[in-house]
Amino acid sequence: MEVMLVPLLILFFILVAGFGIENTFKILPPLIFLGLLIYFLGWVAIKYFWIILPIWFLSKLLSNKNKGRNSTYSRTYERTDDNFFKSTGSSGSTNRRTYSGTFNSREEAEEFFRTFFGGGFGQGSTGTGGSTYGGGYSSQNGGSSYQRNTYTSYTTDKSKYYTILGVNKNASQDEIKKAYHKLAKQHHPDRFVNSSDSEKKYHESKMKEINDAYENLTK
């Protein structure tokens, strides 16, 4: 007991010298409480060390097991608009979004993402629209990983351009060029300088369609 009093007295005089006698007595009760709490916890830890250690080890083991069981899976959805922007003369762009969730198994994660993204998850298909979509799937499970990518290509539907120029789908480049020049002469704005506003707008619109069709069929 006397051995403990000596360092306590030294600490008391240090506090008085640093904070003053009044401030020391104000902060003394919290310090005493904190010291008793640390002393008690240290005494419990030393006395019951043989019980605390197995409990800690078991909780750690169960935590790792549950971590391996409930893995985090993510689904990456990518959209690349290069084809669409090329047809309009702009630069392409790529947008990516990642969706993730915690599941008990890879199958459960796939079922969720299949429902969330539609029945076509993981299956390729072709349509129209001038865009390319890509999807990725990955999971982290105790350090291991899985990756699955699916891509769906969308190509531009050019059938309307053949219709605008009045040629069939098997037309050669020369035939397309001749049809374009013929229609361009018919609808060129210079021919309708003295026409009404409505007629001017009609031929301007037709000329724009013709140019657009020709560009898409010859590039």
pLDDT tens by residue, 184-195: 899 888 888 888
- Note whether 141 and 87 are same-domain residues: yes
Same domain membership, residue 98 and residue 36: no
Q: Are residues 88 and 33 in the same domain?
A: no
Residue 155 has pLDDT above 80, yes or no: no
Q: Is the pLDDT confidence value at 147 over 70?
A: no
In this structure, are 132 and 91 located in the same domain?
Answer: yes
Based on the domain organization, do 151 and 179 belong to the same domain? no
pLDDT at 10 over 50: yes
Tell me if 65 is assigned to some domain. Answer: no
**Tally of domains within the chain:** 3
The answer to whether residue 58 sits within a structural domain is no
Residue 157: phi and psi, rounded to 5, are -80, 110
Instruction: Provide the percentage of residues in the chain whose pLDDT is more than 70.
Output: 55
Residue with more model confidence, 120 or 207: 207
Q: So what's the pLDDT on residue 96? A: 53
Q: Which amino acid is at 11?
A: L
Length of the chain: 219
Higher pLDDT, 175 or 125: 175
- Edge-to-edge strand ranges of the sheet holding 127-128: 94-103, 71-80, 132-141, 144-155, 127-128
Q: Write down the pLDDT at residue 130.
A: 38
| Structure tokens given for 187 | 């609808």
**Res 74: pLDDT:** 56
In-domain check, residue 61: no
Are 143 and 165 contained in the same domain? no
In this predicted structure, the answer to whether residue 212 has a pLDDT above a threshold of 50 is: yes
> Which range marks the domain in which residue 184 is found?
159-218
- Looking at the fold, whether 25 and 100 belong to one and the same domain comes out as no
Q: Within a domain: residue 195?
A: yes
Q: What is residue 49's predicted lDDT score, i.e. its pLDDT? A: 74
pTM of the full structure: 0.32
Does residue 75 sit in the same domain as residue 148?
Answer: yes
In this structure, is residue 121 part of a structural domain?
yes
